Structure 1
């Protein structure tokens, strides 16, 4: 063990109660940042309550010898607890999920046939719906995907890129690495505008209003563009969705 690691392992840490009290503002900060990306039906207080549970867990499991600061460690736990709460309370009805799957498949088929990104009008025509209905579906897709890119274990409605836990098997780590590689390739194949929207949202942490200011479009249009990008990714990563749904 290095001198630094030995020092960290023996250093006097604040009590769990002190850590929770000191970092309670971090919970609200993360909740506010996350809520700016979510539909209005998600209550800020629910996010804060879930985040406080994450903070309590972080205070009990923090290991200073791992090298990360408590704030960094707690931030992951807090955000993870909020996201778990959001997954349990999925707001979207099954009809929305079905519509998303149908639209993703229509985009995939059209783009394979045309050799270029499908226009929204072409997707609407293939789905036999009008443009307002398609744009409403795209907005729903954006709201459903306000969580980190992931694939889920329910109906394959998300694309998953969660880090495996330390207790996961080597196979799980390999699968995670393979998915990350395929996800990166799929994102690189998206039209430039779709890539920019995802980058501003996930990498830069901008909310929809801020992205709209960058692109010079309305917040509602950004919501549609983000939903369109997610549906394109769903189509490109359909093998992972099929893997999650099982035989």
Structure 2
């Protein structure tokens, strides 16, 4: 059977808005049964009575371009989380407590899905996101300089000026598909205009030749060293697990300082040999 999403949404809204309201005594009684006895029937009646809050909150947030049904579902998740965390011994009504969780759940969902790129990671970014139109109005309608207006807006919403600059810039444009057509005949996509920054065939060939040349030069240079010098250089620079001067000294029955001296002497020979190879190549 095919489910009509529009009809399902309408039925969900009708059911939520027609659920009977609970008195304070009924609310407390149901919450007690749920918290003390894990009575799922009490939880069901409690959540059904408050689903109208999820619907009304979702309608307020539908301007962010996300499906209303998804927002209502997120509100229901927030409602269940509120029931899980609520303490009936506190002098707070469940409806007040649940309202915060419903709104928070929807806001997190919007932030996760508004863009394929994460919108913001700080609580200040969340505050700015959901008050962006007011912040922009404060900045654009102000009689003062833009920076002064940003400072006032930052103070008003208890965020930093840098956070406002970051978020207004980040939210100033929506995501654009790389497959979007740029011409009426549909021949050019946006991604067709993005330059390819990979190395071309010429650069790749040149890099391969340079690598082979360097390997040949180093091989010739190593042959100019004594066996002991070559062993030290190879174990210090050309193996995955490079050996310390102390370890080499133990293996060669030399002091650490003597190994360092031999290494320095060998490096001098290598540099001289490589410089000579480079000079010959240049000629």
| Normalised-by-shorter TM-score class | 0.3 to 0.5
* TM value normalised by structure 2: 0.33
Q: Give the structure with higher Rg (CA).
A: 2
Which structure is richer in relative contact order (CA contacts within 8 A, separation 6 or more)? 1
